A = this chain, B = another copy of it.
Amino acid sequence: MKKLEKITTQKENFAKWYTDVIQNGDLMAYGSSKGSIIFKPLSFGIWDNIRLNLDSQFKKIGVQNVNLPLLIPESLLNKEKNHITGFNPELATVTEVGGRKLNEKFFIRPTSEVLFGDFFKNEVESYNDLPLIYNQWVNVLRWEKTTNPFLRTREFLWQEGHTIHNNKEEAENLTTQMLDVYTNFVKDFLAIPVVKGQKTEHEKFAGADYTFTIEAMMKDGKALQAGTSHYLGQNFSKAFDISFKNTKNKIEHAYGTSWGVSTRLLGALIMTHGDDRGIIIPPKIAPIQVDIIELFASKDERISKEAKKIYNLLNEVGISAKIDSTNKNAGFKAANSEIHGTPLRIEIGPRDLNENKVLFVRRDTIEKIYVPLEKIKETTINILNEIQENLYNEAKKRLIKNIKIANNYKEFKTLIENGNWVITKFAGDGNDEEKIKEETGASTRCMPFNLDIEINSEDCFYTNKKTNRVVIFAKSY
């Protein structure tokens, strides 16, 4: 594939920077149809690592994986109308097969609540059969008008968890628990700090009693919804007649939850850590953690020998490395490693070898460190840990710095204009949210949990009504 000579800087044009780096970093290619993308080995490798690691967190709390069909018959979709209104304009519809018109239309799943509803109703008779804590890793499709690779594509990959319980409390606890699983996962593996909170009525998942969210801040200040966990109450259970005999021998409708994260996380990762040299992949999720670069490869056979030795050394302790033994020049190889976001590169050159050392270059700080040959293993382990921590700390600092308090609409507009998140007291309704979005581009992201920011005002910044409701607004992806 042809590469750009120069990447647009973040300051020049953040959106252009984003599409430059994901293409030059070999993360994706555009698909054959509009709004579709191809996950190339690097981005799919990251997604595979996300799946592997998140799935093992799921299993610790008893989640079981299943797989439900892609297509939803029209009759089924109409059973729960609340949640579907929003998806309606985006539903890709199969109306014919091999040129013959079908009697019933089928929709490609935009999400699978109704399919799980129809499935669950036959699986449950007594309170003993509950809970069912299921999840699937699948593709879904929403025919979006404006698309952006990873962030908003017509088809995307995700996991969607669907559970039913024999009591409200257990279902509500699981809704909270999954939000914590997501929070810890994006923190520990993707090095992304988030704000946890609840969506407003206006922004919640239609069909849910309430929606929890984790919101991440991108380097341009915009918010990205990185994961959601919905408490569905008995809404889908009533629509699909998912009922059980309770301990008092009475028939009762089950209590449901659903929760998901998607390949949007790749977009979040790129826009949280990337810089003007390209993407930066946190070590704990990187398919390749170390690039081993042979300098002047053809001229000195000690170099390739040392490269293989280091490769094996790292392999032994579970660090994935890749050797670049091509005949390209040193600058090209370094830039190539940087644009692909490999956390650490080790350069092996003849002069350094004479002194029994190699050069480590960190992708995050571009710091150069000479490391004696006998210290390579431990130094690599330490530096990868440091990079992981540093990426998180930098992102966390930025997040805290850019959440600002607005006391009135004027302050609000200025702060939003300057790329901040605004935390404020808000008593408005959905109509007010729509108006504010029209005028400023900002929407409510959440009513945050445990955010250590004191707001002295007791008045809504917009309606001036007295309120205790704290809300975060931001422009978003």
Contacts and interface: CB of A to CB of B under 8 A. Distances in A.
Contact of A70 (B93, B122, B139): B139
A151 interface: no
A418 interface: no
A98 interface: yes
Contacts of A32: 69, 72-73, 76, 115, 118-119
B134 A1 contact: no
Best-surrounded residue of A32, A33, A72, A89 (most CB of chain B within 10 A): A32
Contact of A96 (B48, B93, B125): B93
A400 interface: no
A14 interface: no
A189 interface: no
Contacts of A118: 32
A88 B97 CA distance: 8
Contacts of A45: 64-65
A41 B65 contact: yes
Contact of A97 (B69, B99, B143): B143
Nearest to A153: B69
A125 to B, nearest CB: 8
Given A94-B93, A143-B98, A33 B119 contact: no
Interface string A77-104: 0000000000011111111111100000
User: Is chain A's interface secondary structure helix, strand, loop, or mixed overall?
Assistant: mixed
Contacts of A39: 66-68
A61 to B, nearest CB: 15
Interface string A32-49: 110011111100110110
A92 B94 contact: yes
Interface band, chain A: 35 or more
Interface in A99-116: 99, 106, 108, 115
Nearest to A326: B128
Contacts of A40: 66
B65 A44 contact: yes
Given A36-B71, A76-B32, A66 B91 contact: no
A383 interface: no
B98 A95 contact: no
A141 interface: yes
30 contacts: A31-B69, A32-B69, A32-B118, A33-B69, A33-B72, A36-B69, A38-B119, A39-B66, A39-B67, A40-B66, A44-B65, A47-B67, A67-B157, A70-B139, A70-B141, A71-B141, A71-B155, A88-B98, A89-B97, A93-B94, A93-B95, A93-B96, A93-B97, A93-B99, A94-B94, A94-B95, A95-B95, A95-B96, A98-B143, A138-B139
Interface of A: 1-2, 29, 31-33, 36-41, 44-45, 47-48, 64-73, 76, 88-99, 106, 108, 115, 118-119, 122-123, 125, 134, 138-139, 141, 143, 155, 157
